[in-house]
Structure 1
Amino acid sequence: MDDRSHWAPLVITPESTGAAATPDGLVGHLRGLDGLGALLTREKALVFRGFRVTPAELEEVMDLLLPSRLAYVHGNSPRTKVGQNVYTSTEYPPEFTISMHNEMSYAHSWPARLLFFCDRAPATGGATPVVDGVRWLEALDPEVRERFAGGVRYRQNLHGGTGFGKSWQDTFETGSREDVEAFLDGTGAEYEWKKDGGLRVSQERPSTARHPVTGTEVWFNQADQWHVAGLGDETAAALHRIMPEQDLPQSVSFADGSPIPADHITQVRDRGLECAVDVDWQTGDLLLVDNMLVGHGRRPFTGPRRVLVAMSD
């Protein structure tokens, strides 16, 4: 059994740093920290706990942890923008699990870092599971890895203001078709405007990626979240009764257009969750992750839960 089987995020506390158990203590520690990037690359994920951070101090902390905050442009998850490139975590019914994924791994470019902030911890559950991308890749059957080796093709149907799923206006944070076209032209995606005012986007992406610093190969795609089989049999059947797969808000195939078997999708989903380590939230916690080395998700919960997220390159 190798070290990856024991991996967990590094927990940084006032006790471990000698800093005061206050937001100012965390800020002072971060300002004096030499080599945050190297530390994050080595540990893959960092939890800052016990510093009693509130939304009032979040901006200053984010400026130190995220060098350049990004807008969630071309993001497919339902979120609410609550500040300067600060969003709610995925808004999904609390009784459901969100499977493991690397943020925007389906896109031409993706954030290098993610920062989660727990504004309010849930009554029960609601952990953010995190998974080592190398371990996730190695947990898959050789046949599945081989089938995915040629990459995948993602397809989006974005409505023009009214419809099922997300609109292109919300997805690209603009009401300008010209701005959307300029963005997509720079990604190599294929796209077409539909007669009903919607937008269809198709893009081919690899299924794995190599980290620019470590060179390690990680599982890096969201096929299980874009495939109807990843939603469960009942939901998949209900969606098929409503519309054909090519008209769903999002779908995925192998890069050559051939269908991905449902059992491949469920294996990817389930083994990612099985390999994950839960970060159980306490109000005021922060979680910083290397978005290539680590996937994340969400466990079901009860009671109010408010976790915010920001991203950087």
Structure 2
Amino acid sequence: MYDGQNWMPLEMTPNSIGVEPKPTGLIEYLDDADRLRELLTEEKALVFRGFNLSAGDLEAVMERVLPDRLAYVHGNSPRSKVGDNIYTSTEYPAEFTISMHNELSYSHRWPARLLFFCERAPASGGATPVVDGSRWLNALDPEVRAAFEQGVRYTQNLHDGYGLGKSWQDTFETDRREDVEAYLDGTKATWEWRSDGSLRVSQVRSATTRHPVTGTEVWFNQSDQWHQATLGDETAAALAQILPEEELPQSVTFADGTPIPAEYVIQVRDRGLAEAVDVDWTAGDLLLIDNVLVGHGRRPYSGDRRVLVAMSD
């Protein structure tokens, strides 16, 4: 919902949409695909609460809201596959904040929609913050926006089974080099197999994009998450003792290869989080977002939090 000053996801309950408070009530509502598409474009993110959903109901819901469910191919965050293109949310340690980002915005292909399902709520914390991408863009200083107009260059070093970060096998969900090559050939990325069996991938992407329906320009890159400056001084210093920057599991520069100033990516990270709205979880809740219009992250938590994620064109 947007009133010109503030934005937040639209919360939908059985009472608000006039259905019974059970899974069949929600599924009945979701059967109208055109209505859902228009509502999601208008509101940018939808929260469904009070429908008594369990993990067993998730497949029927996904059939309606994720028409072309995608695998998490070329994903860079640690997560586990738990079903047919269903994954755990990012498995970073619970004490850390995950900054705002649009899923796979560094890739040549990103999902149009993301669905989050809370199977187990945390004891405390653990909200999923969401941010209006146009507000995030407008929150940045003009100097920063201008600097990013040339785009960014992402570089990945994906090991062959042992090393820092993810392996190429986990990243591309295959152990066949020919499958990886076939995927990368269509991405406008440059890549090379290295003598130790690892894979280096470099790709230039835009820093912003426009929504295909509304034309709204949004901040749409993960430069802050790929930059050493946001790791913290101690972690960055420790990595520098082990590896040169070009050998890190992932790194980022401007498109022409020049370094991105640390203060720029810190501003991007902090202002994205400052503009975000927290979605707190109760077991059975669903969050559906337009992955172009809205970025997401994660707040620290305690307890046994389990949020599942699926994505679609």
- TM-score grouping bracket, smaller chain normalisation: over 0.9
User: Which residue number corresponds to residue 30 of structure 1?
Assistant: 30
SS of the aligned residue for 1:5 comes to coil
Cα distance in 2, alignment partners of residues 186 and 68 from structure 1: 19
Cα distance in 2, alignment partners of residues 285 and 264 from structure 1: 35
User: Which residue number corresponds to residue 164 of structure 2?
Assistant: 164
1:231-288 C-alpha deviation (Å, 9 max, x unpaired):
2222111111121111000000000000000000100000000000000001000000
Question: CA 1:230 to 1:31, structure 2 compared with 1: closer, same or farther past 3 Å?
Answer: same
SS of the aligned residue for 1:35 comes to helix
Matches within 5 A, 1:79-98: 79-98=79-98
TM-score norm. by structure 1 comes to 0.98
1:211 aligns with 2:219: no
User: Which residue number corresponds to residue 284 of structure 1?
Assistant: 284
1:253 aligns with 2:253: yes
User: Which residue number corresponds to residue 153 of structure 2?
Assistant: 153
> CA contact under 8 A between 2:100 and 2:272: conserved in structure 1?
yes
Moved over 6 A (4+): none
1:5-44 C-alpha deviation (Å, 9 max, x unpaired):
3110000101101111111111112124642111100000
User: Which residue number corresponds to residue 65 of structure 2?
Assistant: 65
User: Which residue number corresponds to residue 306 of structure 2?
Assistant: 306
Cα distance in 1, alignment partners of residues 232 and 40 from structure 2: 35
Cα distance in 2, alignment partners of residues 88 and 238 from structure 1: 29
RMSD: 1.0
Matches within 5 A, 1:41-80: 41-80=41-80
User: Which residue number corresponds to residue 114 of structure 1?
Assistant: 114
Query: What is the deviation of 1:3?
Result: 3.8
Cα distance in 1, alignment partners of residues 101 and 225 from structure 2: 8
User: Which residue number corresponds to residue 265 of structure 1?
Assistant: 265
Deviates more, 1:225-234 or 1:91-100: 225-234
Matches within 5 A, 1:207-246: 207-246=207-246
1:130 aligns with 2:130: yes
Cα distance in 2, alignment partners of residues 209 and 161 from structure 1: 34
1:84-122 C-alpha deviation (Å, 9 max, x unpaired):
000000000000000000000000010000000000000
Structure 1 residue runs without a partner (length 5+) = none
SS of the aligned residue for 2:31 comes to helix
> CA contact under 8 A between 2:33 and 2:65: conserved in structure 1?
no
> CA contact under 8 A between 2:111 and 2:311: conserved in structure 1?
yes
Cα distance in 1, alignment partners of residues 32 and 44 from structure 2: 20
Query: What is the deviation of 1:230?
Result: 1.4
Structure 2 residue runs without a partner (length 5+) = none
Q: Calculate percent identity across the aligned residue pairs.
A: 71
> CA contact under 8 A between 1:5 and 1:135: conserved in structure 2?
no
Cα distance in 1, alignment partners of residues 256 and 288 from structure 2: 36
